[in-house]
Structure 1
Amino acid sequence: MKTKNKNLIWIFLLGVFLPELVWGAPVIESISGTLGNGQSITVYGSGFGSKDQARPQLWDTVDNQVTYQALTDGDTIPSGGANPWPENQDGLFKMESTDPQRNSFGGEVYKGTGMGVKLNNKTIANSGKIYLAWWFKPSVDPNTATTGGHSSKFVRLSNSGDPVNKTFSWTQMNNYVYRIDEGYCQQSGGSYWNDWPGVVDQWNFQEVYMDGRNRVYEISVNGNSLRSGVWNLCNSFDFDEVWSLGWDSGGTEPLNMTVWMDDIYLDNTPQRAMICSGSSWSSRGNCENQIPSSWSSEGLTLTLNQGSFSLGGQAYLYVVDATGSANASGYPLTIGTTVSGTGSGLSSPTGLMVF
């Protein structure tokens, strides 16, 4: 009888604590709030993990930058000092408010024309990792061949202590990590080859996640993974700087184009919340990053970024944890509605077997 009682106690304890002991993907139980742009919503669930700073390291919609408030259409984007970007290369990025905007909630975007149109040298708190997402619109196809050839970068990530010699580059045709002292870090000393799959003269959602300590990265365009890269041919190093972002055209005959950028989200962890058009994470489609103001393992408070989703439209909510895992099925939302859910604390255990 004593043995049976002990077994029952162990079964009870497993039922209570196992969900907290097992690392699993985030689970969204319910949400509360009005699902409109700029509104505060609360997300209840489990497996979200802890986050050192709820807000991202940078959320730049152009409109929300205090130091840009006096700018008018066509003014040069200021840099350095209290501005979000330390350098606007050659002053080529301008504030644009008369071109068609990405959505009805924003009135300003970045716009630049040339071969070296880029924002540079943004450092963040060092965790060894960078997650960067931004909306990008090119006037011509970045894959366009030139007579002499070109290799042109959308983004370069670096180690702030040695940005030139420890770097990651994503170009229109390839992507790679490079160390000056060890060479190319993947593909037997080469790079991964991937043409840009986006749409010309339309807004494309671009993402890069880099983990310098585990020597892996992933790049995505419009919710589709373009490359999951492994760079284990070099010693690891931390990434904590966006060395350049925009259009950095190089090679024998660089490609000149106009680019627009908007809604730049930068953090030192893959943890984030997103609303997406697809009902499953594996085919999530276009997404909008949400802006957290509080984050705990069982609840988030977000400021809703409606972005390109229309009133009454269907969207799906995802939470990504520190390992990069998200809930496999999106939590369905109808934009514009008000919902009132509550969290249950610990999720009920599933899949337990009694022997």
Structure 2
Amino acid sequence: MHRYVGRELVRWLSCTLLFLGYGCGGGGGDSSTAESSMPSICTVSGVPSVSQVSGTISNGQTITITGSGFGSCGPIVVLFDDFEKGTNGNPITTVGGSAQIGNWTAVEATPDSPRYSTAYRHSGNNSYLADQSTGDGGHWAAVNFAGTYFVYTSFWVFLPYDSEVPGTGEPQGPNWKLADITGGNYLAGEYASDWTAGVVLQDLPLAQGAFQLPSPWHDTAGLTELGYGSTSWEKGRWHRFENFYAGSWSGNGVVQMWETNAANSRTPVCNETNLNTIHSSDTWSWFRLHAYARQDTRGQCYYDDVYVATGPGARARVEIGNAGNYEDCTNLAVLTPTSWSDTTINTQVRSGSFSAGQSVYLFVINSSGTASAGYPLTMGNTY
């Protein structure tokens, strides 16, 4: 069994810890076990079609979506946090129910704890602040979940005009690891088949080659490196990143990443297949937000609307957007399903930055990653 013991061991032992109850969504467990058969992703042929939406399109309300071609595999929603349950200036909490779905399992110790902030937000009143002025390393929050070969994540991230990518102007240079996933006994500082969610190596905007694509970070032997890419991310503008990881130790792994912002519709950052992404003895069981950044007095980094889903149906989801075609959207909000079948989905509305009276389109994306046509709705209306 591959293991890498990281230098964060002492920090982990001083963290506030709380094991979470897992979210739901009808996805079920992974379809194989470590060191046995290869993991099998849930695939769906055809294009989903939405025929009806019932309920009130307001934040936190439950709606029912009917149609066809949704597939039988829904996501296991482990975490959704819009940080609205926190108090400005307080450390991000691990108390049960402190996120809208689930809760964080552990956070970095004081004085490097991430905090709730009202300074900038993508939705609601609060966001997550990682203030790198207090020290080097990740001002992180991490969530633990049942071992899986499939992880999908989505979050919005923001760097103010008067801030800089942590490490800019410092001797070692900029280095900001947005997030990572790993297996192993993470509470003891171990990593197993650890992957980043992208690494920023220059102050924004980024030149070609200054953005490292999702790649193995710790316990990397035999895993496929992805190299460097580009992103349209700029200061002063909220930017969404999505990542999907499918585990394989025999050349069938997948790593995908997309970006969305107000000036650029949803765009692939990478779409890599035929990879070795996990060791045969491992499963992924942790997601860590703001995994690492250098100390910097101007290194204030913000996150909002963090979503983590697992299982063979991890990519399956419901979203609302501002265009009738999913890939044309420049603003998207992911909803949190509570049940999923081929013809019916029950989900809670997460309105993101959309407000009452605004025209939106609802999309069902199946576990193969195929999106329906947009179903027109108005925020705040009842159907």
Kept in 2: contact 1:142–1:196 (CA 8 A): no
One-letter code aligned to 2:301: V
Q: Report what 1:258 is aligned to.
A: 300
* 1:163-178 to 2 correspondences below 5 Å: 164-169=191-196, 170-172=198-200, 173-175=211-213, 176-177=215-216
Change (3 A) 1:256 1:185: farther
Matches of 1:236 and 1:98 in 2, distance apart?
Answer: 41
Kept in 1: contact 2:83–2:116 (CA 8 A): no
The answer to whether 1:96 aligns with 2:111 is: no
The answer to whether 1:142 aligns with 2:165 is: yes
The answer to whether 1:32 aligns with 2:54 is: yes
The answer to whether 1:320 aligns with 2:365 is: yes
Q: Report what 2:145 is aligned to.
A: 124
Change (3 A) 1:298 1:25: same
TM-score by length of 1: 0.74
Kept in 1: contact 2:223–2:278 (CA 8 A): no
Shift of 1:315: 1.4
Tell me which moved more, 294-303 or 153-162: 153-162
Per the alignment, in what secondary structure is the counterpart of residue 274 of structure 1? strand
Change (3 A) 1:338 1:78: closer
Matches of 1:132 and 1:198 in 2, distance apart?
Answer: 18
Identity of aligned pairs, percent? 23
Kept in 2: contact 1:113–1:257 (CA 8 A): yes
**Structure 2 gaps, min length 5:** 1-43, 201-210, 261-265
* 1:35-74 to 2 correspondences below 5 Å: 35-51=57-73, 56-64=77-85, 72-74=87-89
* 1:75-114 to 2 correspondences below 5 Å: 75-79=90-94, 84-91=103-110, 92-103=112-123, 106-114=124-132
One-letter code aligned to 1:291: T
The structure with the greater share of residues assigned to helix is 1
Change (3 A) 1:121 1:110: closer
Shift of 1:44: 0.7
Tell me which moved more, 132-141 or 285-294: 132-141
Matches of 2:125 and 2:212 in 1, distance apart?
Answer: 33
Matches of 2:287 and 2:139 in 1, distance apart?
Answer: 9
Kept in 2: contact 1:77–1:88 (CA 8 A): yes
Matches of 1:80 and 1:74 in 2, distance apart?
Answer: 16
**Structure 1 gaps, min length 5:** 1-21, 340-355
Matches of 1:256 and 1:231 in 2, distance apart?
Answer: 40
Q: Report what 1:348 is aligned to.
A: none
Matches of 2:322 and 2:167 in 1, distance apart?
Answer: 30
Cα RMSD after superposing both structures: 3.1
Change (3 A) 1:256 1:116: farther
TM-score by length of 2: 0.69
Q: Report what 1:205 is aligned to.
A: 240
Number of residues paired by the alignment?
A: 303
